[in-house]
Amino acid sequence: MTPRILLPEHLIRTSLIRGITVDTPMTNPVSEQAFLAQYNIHDFDVPLTTVDMAIFTLREKRLEVLLVKRAQHPAQGKWALPGGFIQLGQDHSLEDAAHRKLLEKTGVASPYLEQVMTVGNAKRDPRGWSVTVVYFALIASDSLRIQPDESSEQVAWVPVKEALENYGLAFDHQTLLATCHARLKSKVLYTALPVHLLPDAFTLTDLQQVFEILLDQPVEKKAFRRRILDAGILEETGGMRTGQSRPAKLYRVSDKQQAHCFPRNIEGPR
């Protein structure tokens, strides 16, 4: 027979611990509905919670990132990544918050968006204990309309290398940007992510150039084209680009929601 430990009558729950039946206290006999109705989240310390974004595009054959010059304290007058606080009445998820901030800053509703990391500590923001969820976004430069808001006095596209080396970004945004850039560069080696930086219609040469800009090295042309076409991620538009060189077929992405991974890394020149 399982031994039983007798406890006072107010202990009315029963559980089995290591073969011994133990009564445990009902510390809160109210229903869950009643408990939640009177629960106040501010009975406990709540950290500042934000999303921050590294929004990348290609301009003049350079990878650039969107920066905002802060119009308010803290770090007033310093450049930073765009972002903001979670709006409980608007944002049903972290992705909602990220898409909202992206739309506010660029006018683009649904580009490629990827969550990179979550950072939280007591030192990153002088206002108090802070948590931020960091994303990077890829958008084509032909679809942009950037504008400042009440929290930023200026908005600018800046080459990523220059932003990392010369801008002294606010808070820990230097580290956040470096991490997002490293994630993007590593994924370019084995995914088709660069298609999100191109306009709706492009040539295979255009796409190869984007890969080369992001990797900061040339890629082997024949192997690259074979890999892209074999992946089945593009479809011909039926149009051609004409000019000084011979006409080139125009392509578009067949499904922008599809994420494609190559079986091997993109190759450099042989």
Do 62 and 145 belong together in one domain?
yes
Do 20 and 55 belong together in one domain?
no
Record the pTM: 0.85
Do 128 and 183 belong together in one domain?
yes
Do 71 and 129 belong together in one domain?
yes
Is residue 98 in a domain?
yes
Do 137 and 181 belong together in one domain?
yes
Do 157 and 140 belong together in one domain?
yes
Counting beta carbons within 10 angstroms of the beta carbon of residue 195, is it exposed (0 to 12), middle (13 to 18) or buried (19 or more)? buried
Q: Which of 131, 164, 187 is the last residue of a domain?
A: 187
pLDDT interval class at 19 (50, 70, 90): low
Is residue 247 in a domain?
yes
pLDDT interval class at 106 (50, 70, 90): confident
pLDDT digits (tens, 9 = 90+) for 161-198: 999 999 999 999 999 999 999 999 999 999 999 999 99
Cβ–Cβ under 8 Å, residues 203 and 247: no
Do 55 and 171 belong together in one domain?
yes
Name the residue among 186, 260, 269 with its Cα closest to residue 224. Answer: 269
Is residue 259 in a domain?
no
Task: Out of 12-16, 77-81, 110-114, pick the least confident.
Answer: 12-16
pLDDT digits (tens, 9 = 90+) for 149-162: 767 678 899 999 99
Task: Give the pLDDT score at 52.
Answer: 97
Parent domain of 113: 48-187
Cβ–Cβ under 8 Å, residues 83 and 50: yes
Q: Which of 147, 165, 187 is the last residue of a domain?
A: 187
Q: Which of 136, 170, 187 is the last residue of a domain?
A: 187
The CATH number of whichever domain residue 243 belongs to comes to 1.10.10.10
Task: Give the pLDDT score at 138.
Answer: 94
Q: How many domains does the chain have?
A: 3
Q: How far apart are the first and last CA of the chain?
A: 77
Do 97 and 202 belong together in one domain?
no
